[in-house]
Amino acid sequence: MGKELAFFEGKIVPVGSAKVGIMTHALHYGTAVFEGIRGNWNPSKEKMYVFRLKEHYERLIKGCKILNMDINNSVEDLCNITIDLIKASEYKEDIYIRPLAYKSEEKVANLKLHELESNFALMIVPFGNYIDNDKPIRCQTSSWRRPHDSMMPTGVKLSGLYTTSILAKTEAIMAGFDEAILLNFDGSVSEGSGENLFMLRDGNLVTPSETENCLLGITRDCVFEIASNEFGIEIISRKIHRSEIYLADEVFLTGTAAHITSVGQLDNRNISSGNIGEFTKKIQDKYFKIVKGDDQKYIKWCTEISLV
Ligand code: PMP
């Protein structure tokens, strides 16, 4: 068991005392940017491997720029704050790390981004499986559409944008599915509620391109690199039609929380046999080794932390 701590207003405090006021701008208007980072505990090495820490903070800083937010910390500072909090928390199990940059000014009826105070907070929770990765999941095409980037910036993790993901995931779960797939307003495929989507069809590995309003996922980026390095596959980024998914040979979702998850069904139609695909299984096995620091070739993606 670790200690429940947070980094809040410049210092490490017990999570229970990290509180914001009811008038906080971000609470009313979703004016915040967050990240989701995994720390993977490797029991045989007795070390924590934080996955792609720097890249997560680079994305957070991009979100801050969009929200006119200056949190006065460089990517390097944020990485060091995170390492310090992980050491102080002493978790010896898989963890989820949640940085949050938010408009902290306690002012309502203030529809603007400029001239408002911002702050940065960080918390850690023990975290096992987000989705059961051992079996293919059942997905539903959501009745909610992924907003277009012209409605709200979609390439970074803006808090307000997650209302759509939450509506979609709730709808899917309440209808008995495991996850939602959101379409763009033009009906093309965008992504899952918290994952990017890949489809293998006729030997081509395809994912929605950057202009399809999906988050520019860090796991997505790993899949590009692993597919090319290990399997000699160059991924095609393009528009995907909903019915292409029905006819795909394999479909999988990628995300920090979800890792690489096989999709067995969409809208009650089996994808191929409905079982985990051969390629999905191979890339999943590789990815699980990499995130735990068990693959030297990709150790550059891991920040190794010893807990003494
Ligand atoms: N899309 C959305 C909407 C997400 O919330 C996430 C999770 N961060 C992803 C895709 C996957 O991104 P990443 O691989 O960086 O976790």
Residue whose CA lies nearest to ligand 1 atom number 2: 194
Domain identity same for 35 and 163: no
Q: Is residue 305 part of a domain?
A: no
CA of 109 to the centre of ligand 1 (A): 31
Domain identity same for 30 and 85: yes
b/e 231-257 (16+ beta carbons within 10 angstroms → b) = eebebeeeebeeeebeebbbbbbbbbe
Mean pLDDT of the chain: 97
Nearest to 38 by CA among 101, 86, 87, 88: 86
Domain identity same for 152 and 122: no
pTM above 0.75, yes or no: yes
DSSP string, 91-111: --S-EEEEEEEEE--B-SS--
Specify the ligand 1 atom closest to the Cα of 157: 5
Of 64, 92, 126, the one marking the end of a domain is 126
Domain identity same for 176 and 261: yes
Q: Is residue 30 part of a domain?
A: yes
Question: Residue 222: which CATH number?
Answer: 3.20.10.10
CA of 248 to the centre of ligand 1 (A): 22
By annotation, the residues acting in catalysis are 157
CA of 195 to the centre of ligand 1 (A): 5
Domain identity same for 250 and 275: yes
Task: Say yes or no to pLDDT of 132 above 90.
Answer: no
Query: Helices (DSSP H) in the chain: which residue ranges?
Result: 25-29, 53-66, 75-89, 162-174, 218-231, 242-246, 278-291
Residue whose CA lies nearest to ligand 1 atom number 13: 217
Q: Is residue 299 part of a domain?
A: no
Domain identity same for 49 and 193: no
Specify the ligand 1 atom closest to the Cα of 257: 16
Range of the domain at 13: 5-126
Q: Number of structural domains, the chain? A: 2
Domain identity same for 220 and 118: no
- Give the tens place of pLDDT for each residue, 139-180: 999 999 999 999 999 999 999 999 999 999 999 999 999 999
Specify the ligand 1 atom closest to the Cα of 56: 15
- What's the start-to-end Cα distance of the chain, in Å? 14
Q: Which residues line ligand 1 (CB under 6 A)?
A: 36, 165, 191, 194-196, 215, 217-220, 254-256
Domain identity same for 270 and 158: yes
Residue pair 99/57 in contact (Cβ under 8 Å)? The answer is yes
Q: Count CA atoms closer than 13 A to 38's CA, side-chain side.
A: 23
CA of 252 to the centre of ligand 1 (A): 13
Domain identity same for 114 and 12: yes
Q: Is residue 308 part of a domain?
A: no
Q: How confident is residue 265, by pLDDT bands cut at 50, 70 and 90? A: very high
Domain identity same for 167 and 274: yes
Residue pair 147/154 in contact (Cβ under 8 Å)? The answer is yes
**Residue 183 and residue 165: Cα distance in Å, rounded?**
12
Average pLDDT over residues 204-224: 97
Of 85, 105, 126, the one marking the end of a domain is 126
